[in-house]
Amino acid sequence: MPKSSAPSRRVPPRDETMPDLGPTAPSWGWSGPGRGRASHVAKPPLYQATTVQTCGLYPFTAGSGAPAVGVPIGRHMIWGEVVALDPIDWVRRNIITNPGIFVLGEPGIGKSAISKRIAAGLISFGTGVLSLGDLKGEYGPLVSAMGGQVVRVGRGLSTLNPLDSGPLGQAVPVLERTDPAKAASLREEIRGRRLDLLLALCTIARGARGSIITDSEELALGAALDILDRRAGVQPIIPEVVHTIESGDEEMHAAVLARSRTEYEDLTNGIVRTLARICRGVLRGLFDGHTTTPVDMGSPAVSIDISALDKASDDVVAASLQCTWAYGFGLIDASRAVGDSRPYLTIQDEMWRSLRAAPGLVDRTDRLTRLNRHQGVGSIITTHSLADLDALPTEEDRAKARGFVERSAVTILGALPDKELGRVHEVRALTSSEREFVASWSAPESWATDRPHPGRGKYLIKCGGRLGIPVEMHLTPRELDLYNTDAAIRGLRPAAPVVEVGVA
């Protein structure tokens, strides 16, 4: 056979004086002269770089595969790599199917902090951020610091007209000259939103035990809105709706199919009294006048602050949240109608305080939010516990409310007890390891007062059936000032001294 042309390698002879120690060395090396024993192994310096760069120095890099697309949230708690999140960009990259985020965690562990981190980052990326119904006034400092607009609604403060079409109504005359079909569609959209909101407010005003809105009452509200809408350049307000129904002209009679004045009054007296309660009862001065501070849609961020109403009754809070949500989503529709293509992020905190006020509000809220999902609008919904669902009036409402969690492609879990994680598992499957991991953050291991809560700043990001991403977030000094929600309780008085007890 011909010899191979490949050059032969010369293998050095084995030193017979040294024993065969095997292919794998101990962690500190083999002991003995000349065998590489190290009595102390120094910790090497830590470098951070992309895998493209690092593989040239160390080709055996590994990681969790967590997306690095979006706002940096923190470091992976196992692998140490940076984890980023942007619900809108994740949809663009086919990581998730819809831009909804549901945040769940115990009070004080940082639910609002991660929402604010995402919001601040997305503002920097050019995304418009709307905090709709800020009950605690938490987002105002951040929005102001980012050059946004804060609208404070309350008695003696700004008034918000929930029937105000805003820029959406201003776009109608322009479209009537250029695209009449689109203008007609826009008018119907405005009418539908106004009617839905009036029905929601009337449902809240009647309470959980009140009578349902009848067909005649709904027809009366719709006809009154149609009459008021024919006035050029004037936005309707709720007291005008009351007056239009009370007047009861021929058009109103025909709308409710009344054959006489007496029959008309029998059909509409209930809705007139309900609307009068909105205008002259506990909601007086809040949503019964023209908008005093219009929202600037050119602003990078907007917070509609209703913290002045936080201590009000549940029906006042519920009505306020419904009005601000309707107004905010209407603004997004308006921006789309005039050609604004930038993405938006909406933040809805304390959603359940609105949904539990009366039966049927889940449906109306769902319609508000569903209309924007196909328009490049991300959302963050936060709550303390899925047990809040149990407070909704009917089983049908509770089942539909679970859909808010199921339809959110991203679920962020903060520290939670195991019982609560069992509820989460019913709508978002968790492995046993994930449940143990999150439950371990829920309570301190000792009574030491100088240690932070073990769950503060720690989150598990779940996306569909994928394994969760455990991430720990550290705030910058500026963020600590802007995101601090403990200032009030920590500023009440100096901390109590620590008493040391010894045994003689």
Helical packing angle, 418-427 and 395-406, nearest 10°: 80
Structural domain boundaries enclosing 259: 161-290
- Residue 464 structure tokens: 């569909």
Nearest to 302, CA basis, from 127, 476, 85, 449: 127
Three-state SS for 416? coil
CB 155 within 8 A of CB 122: no
114 and 175 in a single domain? The answer is no
| Number of helices (H), then strands (E), in the chain | 18, 11
Q: Is residue 79 part of a domain?
A: yes
How far from the centroid of its chain's Cα atoms is residue 81's Cα?
25
356 and 480 in a single domain? The answer is yes
- Residue carrying structure tokens 């306020």: 320
122 and 165 in a single domain? The answer is no
355 and 477 in a single domain? The answer is yes
Q: How far apart are CA 487 and CA 162, in angstroms?
A: 33
Q: Of the candidates 290, 323, 352, which is a domain's last residue?
A: 290
Q: Is residue 323 part of a domain?
A: no
369 and 272 in a single domain? The answer is no
350 and 409 in a single domain? The answer is yes
- Residue 215 structure tokens: 């067909």
281 and 179 in a single domain? The answer is yes
129 and 261 in a single domain? The answer is no
Measured CA to CA in angstroms, residue 46 lies from 54, 65, 156, 201, 341 at distances of: 12, 20, 57, 58, 42
Q: Is 356 left (phi over 0), alpha (psi -120 to 50) or beta?
A: alpha
**What CATH number has the domain bearing residue 83?**
3.40.50.300
Q: Of the candidates 228, 261, 290, which is a domain's last residue?
A: 290
Three-state SS for 266? helix
pLDDT tens for the 504 residues of the chain, in order = 445 454 544 544 555 555 555 666 676 777 777 777 776 667 777 777 776 776 666 666 566 677 788 999 999 988 888 899 999 999 888 888 888 899 988 877 788 899 999 999 999 999 999 998 888 888 999 999 999 999 998 888 888 888 887 767 777 777 778 888 888 888 888 888 888 888 888 888 887 556 688 999 999 999 999 999 887 678 899 999 999 999 888 999 999 999 899 999 999 999 999 888 888 877 787 778 888 888 887 889 999 998 888 777 777 888 888 888 888 887 887 777 777 788 899 998 877 777 776 666 777 677 665 545 567 788 898 888 877 777 777 777 777 777 777 778 899 998 888 888 888 888 888 998 899 888 888 876 666 556 677 778 899 999 877 889 999 998 888 888 888 765 544 444 444 444 443 333
CB 348 within 8 A of CB 133: yes
Q: Is residue 455 part of a domain?
A: yes
Q: Is residue 349 part of a domain?
A: yes
Q: Is residue 63 part of a domain?
A: yes
Q: Is residue 286 part of a domain?
A: yes
247 and 189 in a single domain? The answer is yes
Name every residue whose Cβ is closer than 8 Å to that of residue 471 and which is 6 or more positions away in sequence. Answer: 66, 73, 74, 75, 76, 77, 83, 458, 459, 460, 461
Q: How far apart are CA 481 and CA 493, in angstroms?
A: 19
CB 415 within 8 A of CB 453: yes
Q: Is residue 86 part of a domain?
A: yes
Q: Of the candidates 269, 290, 311, which is a domain's last residue?
A: 290
172 and 278 in a single domain? The answer is yes
Q: How far apart are CA 442 and CA 326, in angstroms?
A: 36
Find the distance separating the first CA and the last CA of the chain, reported in whole Å. Answer: 95
Name every residue whose Cβ is closer than 8 Å to that of residue 267 and which is 6 or more positions away in sequence. Answer: 214, 216, 217, 220, 256, 258
Total domain count, the chain = 2
123 and 171 in a single domain? The answer is no
Amino acid 500: pLDDT: 41
DSSP secondary-structure letter at 22? -
Largest CA distance in the chain: 119
∠ CA 11-12-18, rounded to 5°: 130
In 338-465, where does DSSP find H-type helix? 352-355, 361-373, 395-406, 418-427, 432-439
Nearest to 453, CA basis, from 79, 113, 132: 113
378 and 281 in a single domain? The answer is no
CB 101 within 8 A of CB 410: yes
Q: Is residue 496 part of a domain?
A: no
